[in-house]
Structure 1
Amino acid sequence: MKLFVIAGEASGDKLGAALMAGLSELSPGIDWAGVGGPEMAAQGLESIFAMEELSVMGLMEVLPKYRQLKARIAQTAEAVIAANPAALITIDSPDFCLRVARLARAQRPDLKVIHYVAPSVWAWRPGRAAKMAKVVDHVLALLPFEPPLMEAAGMSCDFVGHPVVAEPRATRAEAEAFRETHMIGADQPLALCLPGSRTGEVKRLGKRFDEALMQLRDREPGLRVVLPTVRGVAGMVREMTARWPVPPIVVEQPEDKRAAFAAADIALAASGTVSLELAASRVPMVIAYDANFVTWHLIWRLLRIDTVTLVNLVSDTRAVPEFLGPECKPRAIAQEMLELLELRDKSEAQRAAMELTMERLGEGGEAPGLRAARSVLEFLAK
C-alpha cells in the first residue's frame, strides 16, 4: 500500500512520525511519499522538498513567499496524482495541506483524503469545517469533543488522543537534581515563566510577566524563576532577561525543560498548548495573553467560547485562571499566583482538573500515534 503524507511544521512532523510508526507496526511494508521533516524521514519518508519552506506564519511572513508557496502547492498536488496513493494524509497546516487536497481531488475525485488535527471550530470560524468537508473524508481529532463537530459537517472522525500524553516526563530524582544543580532549596517556591515560543509573543508578554513575578517575589522573597525557551527565540530571551532585576534561569535543552516542569510549584504561561504540558506535569498555572489592540478586538469578537485554556475546556471546569487582553495586568496576575501558592484548595482544584484532562486526552491508554494508525486503516477498509 502506498500513502502520501504531508506535514508543514515541526509539530506536524512529530505527529506524522508517530502515525507512520503506528501504521508500519499494524501494516508493515507501506510505501511512503510526501513532504515532512527529520522525524518523518526517520520513519522512511523521502520528502519531495524541505518541509521548512512551509513553516511560515502570519500575513507579513507569507506575502514575500506567496509565489514560492503557490508553486509548492501545485508541485505537491502533481506528486500526489503521480504517486496514485491509497490515501492522502494531511497533517495540520491547513492553508497548505487543504489547497493541495483540493487540487489533487480536482484531478482524481475518488482520492481518499484524511486530515490529522481538526480545526478549532469550537473556538472560532465554525464555517471552516464545512469548507474542509469538500475535500476531506476522515479526520483524526486530538480533543475528545471534536468528532461530533466534524461529523455534523459531513466527515467521519475519530478521537485518537493528544500527543502530550505520550511525551516523556522527568522523574522525581531528575526534578530534585535540577533544584540541586541550580541551588534551589527544597522549600523554595519555583515558578515557571512561559511567555511563548514566538518572537512577537516574548516581546509583548516578557515585560509584563517579569513585573508580575517581581511583585510575587515581594511577597515570596525566596522565589526562583525558570524560563524554558526554544532555539528560535533563545538568544533574544537571554538578552532580554539579562536586564531583568532578578534574571531567571533560562533552559533550552528538552531534558532540562522536563526537569524544570517536574520541579516547579507554579507557572505563568501564555495561552496555548503549553497548558496541556503543564497539566501533564500537574503544575498549577495562571494563563495570560495579549495582542495588539486591533488584533485582540477582532479575535474577541470571533471567539465562541468563554475560556481559551485547553485544561478548562477538556475538563469542563474553569479551574485555571486567565488574564487576557485588557485584563493582562501584572498586579492581578501576581495576586492570583500568590493565592495558588498559599491556598491549598485552589491548587488542588487545578490538579483535579488536570487529572481529568489527561484522562480524557488518553493518558494511560494506547499511544496516540497507534490509535491514529488504527483509525486510518479502519477508514480505508470501509
Structure 2
Amino acid sequence: MSAHRIYMVAAEASGDVLAREVVEEIRKKAPAVHISGIGGDELASAGIISPIDVSPLSVLGFFEGIKAYGDVVKLADAAADAIIADRPDVVVLVDSWGFMLRVAQRVRLRDPSIRLVKLVGPQVWATRPGRAKTLASVVDHLLCIHDMEVPFYEPYNLATTVIGNPAISRHVEGDGARFRRLNALSETERMVLVLPGSRSSEIKRVAPALVEASHILYKRDPSLRVVFAPAKNVAEQFSQAFPGLQDWALVTSQAADRYDAMAAADLALACSGTVTTELAMQGTPMIVAYQTGWITWALARGLLYKREHITLLNIVSDDQEIVPEFVQTRQKPSLIADKAWAWLSDPSALPQQKVDQSIALDRMREGDRDAAEIAASVVLEEAAKHAAGLIAS
C-alpha cells in the first residue's frame, strides 16, 4: 500500500506556523507520508514549497476583504487546481475562514472523496454562529481550540476535536537575560516591547498609534529602552513606514529573538492577536490596541460581534477586561501612553498584572497534549479513512 498523501493549505503567518508544526508531528508519527502544500516561509522551512503566492491574502476586515475579493477567488481556484493535481487523501485547511471556505467548496465539488479537515474554526462563539452550519456542509472534521465551540457544531453532526490553544502548546521559555545582554540593556533598565502586528493592514492602522505612544513614553523618560519587534513578513513595510526609529529605539524582526524579547520586557504594547497569548505565556504585562476599517467596525458592533472585548484573555475571563484594550475610537496614543506610564510608575501595578494574566491563561489550557500533536493524529486518521474508502469502492 502506498503512503498517505496529505496537503496543507495556510494563507497567513500564524496559520503558516501552525501548519509547519502539524507537518513536523505528522512526520514523527508517519515518516513515509507524502506532504505537499500551499503556504509561506514556515512551510517552506519544512521542505514544502508552495506552488502559488498567497501573500495577497494578508488583508484584514470585511470591507478590505471585499476589495481583495478578486484575488481571493483567483487564489482559491489556483489552490483547488494544485490540490486536485496532487491527488491527496486529505486536505488540511488552516485558519483564514473566507479563503479556506472557497477552497473547500471547490475541492468538494471536483473530488468529493478527498477528506477535508479545517484546522481552527471560525469564531462562532463570538460572531456569526451560522458559520457552523456552513462549515459542516463542506468539511469532514473540525479541529477547534476551545470546548465552548463544540456545541455549535453538534446539531450538524460535524466531527469535532478540541486541540487546545496552539500558542500555549508551542510555549518556549524566553531568555530575557540573553536578549538584554546581546542588546546592551542592563538588568535594571526598564524596557517596553512594541509588537505592531503581523498583517499589512495592522501596520497601517495599528502600528502608528503604538509607535507614537511609545515615543511619548520615551520623551517622558529617555532612560526607557523601547524595542520594536514587527513580524518578519511585515518587517520591510514597517521599516519603510517608520524611518528613523533607530534614533531612539531598537528594531528587530529576528524570529529567534521573539520570545527572548518578550521575556526581557517590563511591559508590552501589542496589536491584538495570537501574540497576546504568547506574551502572557512569558509573564509579560501588556496593553492591547486594535483598529479596523469603519465599515467593518460598524458591521461587527452592530450585527456580528457578541462580546465586549476582543482579547482572548479577556473573553475567557467572563468578558472582563483583564488586559487593557484601546480599540477603534479609543486607540489614541495619549491614552495608551498614559496607561503604560501609570503602570511603569506604580511598583505594584506590573506584578499584579502578571498575576491577573496568569489566572486568565490557566482558563485557556486544554489538557496535556500539544495542539499540533493532536491535530496530526486526526489528520492521519482522516487520511486512513480516505484510503479505506478507495479500497472499499
- The equivalent of 1:261 in structure 2 is 262
| Aligned equivalent of 2:68 | 62
- 2:175 aligns with 171
TM-superposed CA distance for 1:135, in Å, is 0.8
1:25 aligns with 2:31: no
Residue in 2 that maps onto 1:270: 271
**Distance of aligned partners of 1:99 and 1:209 in 2 relative to their CA distance in 1, 3 Å threshold:** closer
Question: After superposition, where does 1:271-290 map in structure 2 within 5 Å?
Answer: 271-290=272-291
Deviation at 1:73, TM superposition (A): 4.3
* Counterpart check, 1:105 vs 2:108: yes
Once the two structures are TM-superposed, the CA of residue 307 in structure 1 deviates from its matched residue by 0.6
Rounded to whole Å, the distance in 1 between the matches of 2:367 and 2:352 is: 21
Secondary structure of the structure 2 residue equivalent to 1:123: coil
Deviation at 1:269, TM superposition (A): 1.4
CA contact 1:5–1:32 (8 Å) conserved in 2 = yes
Whether the aligned pair in 1 keeps the contact of 2:84 and 2:111 (CA below 8 Å) is no
Query: Structure 1: 5+ residue runs without aligned partners?
Result: none
Checking the alignment, whether the CA contact within 8 Å between 1:160 and 1:368 is kept in structure 2 is yes
Q: Secondary structure at the match of 2:288?
A: strand
* Structure 2: gaps spanning 5 or more residues: 386-393
How much does 1:197 deviate? Answer: 3.0
Q: What corresponds to 1:307 in structure 2?
A: 309
The equivalent residue for 1:120 is 123
* Secondary structure of 2:256 counterpart: helix
1:318 is aligned, of 314, 317, 321, to: 321
Query: 2:78 pairs with 62, 72, 92, which one?
Result: 72
Coordinate RMSD, CA, aligned:
3.2
Secondary structure at 2:316's aligned position in 1?
Answer: helix
Partner of 2:372: 369
The Cα of 1:223 is off from its aligned counterpart by 1.7
Amino acid at match of 1:170: G
Q: Secondary structure at the match of 1:312?
A: helix
- Structure 2 counterpart of 1:297, which letter? A
Deviation at 1:22, TM superposition (A): 1.7
Distance, in Å, in 2 between the alignment partners of 1:67 and 1:371 is 31
Partners of 2:196 and 2:203 within 8 A in 1: yes
Counterpart of 1:282 in structure 2: which amino acid? Answer: G
Contact preservation (8 Å) 2:270, 2:288 = yes
Change (3 A) 1:293 1:12: closer
Cα 1:327–1:10, aligned 2, differ >3 Å: closer, same or farther?
closer
Deviates more, 1:326-335 or 1:4-13: 4-13
Structure 2 match to 1:298: 299
- The percent of aligned pairs where both chains have the same amino acid is 33
1:275 alignment partner, SS class:
helix
Q: Could you tell me whether the CA contact under 8 Å between 1:7 and 1:51 is conserved in 2?
A: no
Query: Cα offset for 1:24?
Result: 2.6
After TM superposition, list the pairs within 5 Å mapping 1:1-382 onto structure 2.
1-40=4-43, 43=46, 45=48, 47=50, 49-52=51-54, 55-57=57-59, 58-59=64-65, 62-63=68-69, 65=71, 68-69=74-75, 71-76=77-82, 78-79=84-85, 83=87, 85-165=88-168, 166-178=170-182, 181-182=183-184, 184-217=185-218, 220-243=221-244, 247-301=248-302, 302-316=304-318, 317-343=320-346, 346-362=349-365, 365-377=368-380
- Report the alpha carbon displacement of residue 353 of structure 1 after superposing the two structures with TM: 3.9
User: For each residue in 1:29-69, what CA deviation from the matched residue of structure 2 results, as whole angstroms up to 9, or x when unmatched?
Assistant: 2233443445445556465x235366453447635636642
Amino acid at match of 1:347: L
Distance between the aligned counterparts of 1:134 and 1:351, measured in 2? 42
CA distance in 2, matches of 1:219, 1:36: 43
Contact 2:180 2:186 in 1 (8 A): no
- Once the two structures are TM-superposed, the CA of residue 225 in structure 1 deviates from its matched residue by 0.9
What TM-score, normalized by structure 2, do the two folds share?
0.82
Cα offset, 1:70, TM superposition: 5.1
Distance 1:9 1:51, change over 3 A: farther
Local SS of the residue matching 1:17: helix
Q: Answer yes or no: is the 8 Å Cα contact 2:177–2:264 preserved in 1.
A: no
* Counterpart AA for 1:161: G
1:188 partner letter: E
Deviates more, 1:147-156 or 1:260-269: 147-156
Q: Deviations over 1:329-352 (max 9, x none)?
A: 233222221232244554344323
Instruction: Tell me by how many angstroms 1:134 deviates.
Output: 0.3
Residue 177 of structure 1 aligns with an amino acid whose one-letter code is: R
Contact 1:130 1:154 in 2 (8 A): no
**Matched position secondary structure for 2:307:** coil
Deviation string 1:248-276 (CA, Å, 9 cap, x unpaired) is 21112122333321111011112222211
Mean CA deviation greater in 338-347 or 187-196: 338-347
Moved more, 288-297 or 271-280: 288-297
Q: Distance in 2 between matches of 1:245 and 1:277?
A: 25
Does the CA-based 8 Å contact 1:117-1:140 persist in structure 2? yes
Aligned to 2:391: none
User: Which shifted more, 223-232 or 35-44?
Assistant: 35-44
Mapped to 2, the partners of 1:98 and 1:209 lie a distance apart of 33
Q: Which amino acid aligns with 1:69?
A: L
